[in-house]
Structure 1
Amino acid sequence: MKRSTIAVTAAAALMFLALSGCSATTAGEAPVKGTPAVPKIDPGPIELTAEKAGERYLSIVCPNNVANEAIVAAYAVGEADYFSGGSPDPAAVKAAAATLAELNRAAVEHFDDEYFIWPAEVADQIPHIRTTYMGQLTMNQAVANAETYESAYTTPLLDLTPEAETAGQEIRYQLDIPSDTKASCVGHENGLTELTDERTEREAALAKQD
């Protein structure tokens, strides 16, 4: 083949590559790398919208509300016997208190999670709820360790500050959550377990992105 023919053929091949969007590479040349992959998990911190904050708040507090109902019910079983001079078995109360203490601790951990930023409207109220759960943790752990029904029943209740007493309803008002603490918790009974699972998956994914 003549040199002119080779030149024309090469030129045609280059034109085809240009039109098709491809680039020619020489033998042994590595292809050009693409742009860096966008992280699948936002490294945070994440600013919560009012809606997301409301859902997160319910997921934290509702399991504690449900468990609180359980310990009240456990106390009620032996209450009549106790007031008539008996010594009821404290096992059910102790078990309910131990469960509630674990939920109190989990609530504190999620309120302390710096990955999320609460809306400014409730940022000053969240610490009061967090402090309340820490106090309840101490109280419920004491009940869980009680040797008798009487010592469990007479464990001093948590003394709340005025700010702590109103913080829950203030948060509900600001985040447009119904004030009914029972009805609003439907569907959030396992919220802390779900949040803990999500955090575990998030932290594992973020570790892989580092």
Structure 2
Amino acid sequence: MSTSIDRTPARHDDDRSPHLTRRTVLAGAAATTAAVTLGGEPAAALDLFSADMVAFNNLSSALTGIHVEKLAPVTDALDLKRDYFDWVMKQQRESFMALLQIAKANAATPQAIIDKSQASDDTRYLARSIVLMWYLGAWYEPADLKRLVDARKDAKPAFVPFTVISPKAYTQGWLWRVIQAHPMGYSDMQFGYWTRPPEPLEDFISRTAIKGT
């Protein structure tokens, strides 16, 4: 029996914010129980709901505009959120901790996370680096992004160096999903996809509801 899908983003009270909700946490608890029952590593599942990881997911969702359940699903074989968390922590620990604190203090208000992340150069440009990381799978140093802004003020072009974080990050950049294309040299899309009209953007970046729920 097929299930009809409503393409309209859900309008439930606990889904108005793209942040982690009670439903998400319950799903995570179920995943943890399954890991224990099947003999998996429970610590890995529990770590998904550490205060810092939850804050990172909410921070990333607010900055990118992508629903947290799309950006960091509970069932996630690729686990890019862990790779990205570790990367930023290694590169910019002090500024990253400041951004996580902002996300924790404003968990229910995505716009406040965005606004408060702009309070200083340290957090402002790190926030931009995080957005580029999710969309491009590459790391741009915050200091280089600041220099780019300063160069524009002087009307001088500037090249911004970057590092592709990993092959996995390259193929999974959200840029490709938003424009409904694929990176050079890799595609998991069905042959002939280019002959069909693209699906609505909301299908890719927002939470969708199943009819009858």
What TM-score, normalized by structure 1, do the two folds share? 0.25
> Larger % of helix: which?
1
Q: Structure 2-normalised TM-score?
A: 0.25
